[in-house]
Amino acid sequence: MIKNTDHCALCDLHNKTLEFGFICKLSNKPPSFQDNCVNIKLNRELTANFDRLNLKRNILNLSKPTILVNLFLLPILGIFTLLGDYLFYKTYIVPHGIFSTEISAYHNHYMLVILSSLFILGCRLIGKGIRPYLNYKEDKKMNENSIYKLETILKNYPTK
């Protein structure tokens, strides 16, 4: 839903205050219009907002291939790391037991460090591949919503 303050954010004739948010420089009051403002001046603020949204869209489009490669590559490496961790566990830990007397406590300690390190590494690789993709989707959706809001507001005002 588009609010009056969304119009004001694009207008060059606005001030920001902590008490009221956006206020009009002409009336020194918060916005009180319905649908569109007769005194709106769309120039510098609109251009800056439009440029910011286009820049964000271009950055997202440029980062998409890298994010998609990481989405597939890093979780696969993470899964293979977790499989290696499981094989290490089955090969070195299970046959002797964690607290076996056949292996010294010194050796046992390092086996647990290797086991836990491989597990943590595998989980981190999976997360490193998935999290940027989720952030990308969220950023893209927010940018598309902002562009839609901007276009909807501009429909209320004739082009000059």
Residue 158 has pLDDT above 80, yes or no: no
Of 118, 135, 134, the C-alpha closest to 77 is 118
Look at 58-67, 80-89, 104-113 and tell me which has the smallest mean pLDDT: 104-113
Question: What confidence tier does 85 reach under pLDDT thresholds 50, 70, 90?
Answer: very high
Residue 106 has pLDDT above 80, yes or no: no
Question: What confidence tier does 107 reach under pLDDT thresholds 50, 70, 90?
Answer: low
Share of the chain above pLDDT 70, in %: 91
What mean pLDDT do residues 87-94 have?
Answer: 84
At residue 4, the 3 state secondary structure works out as helix
User: How remote is the C-alpha of 58 from its chain's centroid?
Assistant: 15
- In the chain the first and final C-alpha atoms are separated, in Å, by 26
Q: What is the pLDDT of residue 99?
A: 54
Amino acid at 15: N
Joined together, the tokens standing for residue 130 give 């998935």
What mean pLDDT do residues 34-51 have?
Answer: 84
Look at 36-40, 94-98, 142-146 and tell me which has the smallest mean pLDDT: 94-98
**Beta strand spans in the chain (E):** 14-17, 21-24
Question: What confidence tier does 29 reach under pLDDT thresholds 50, 70, 90?
Answer: confident
User: What is the Cα–Cα distance from 50 to 41, expressed in whole angstroms?
Assistant: 15
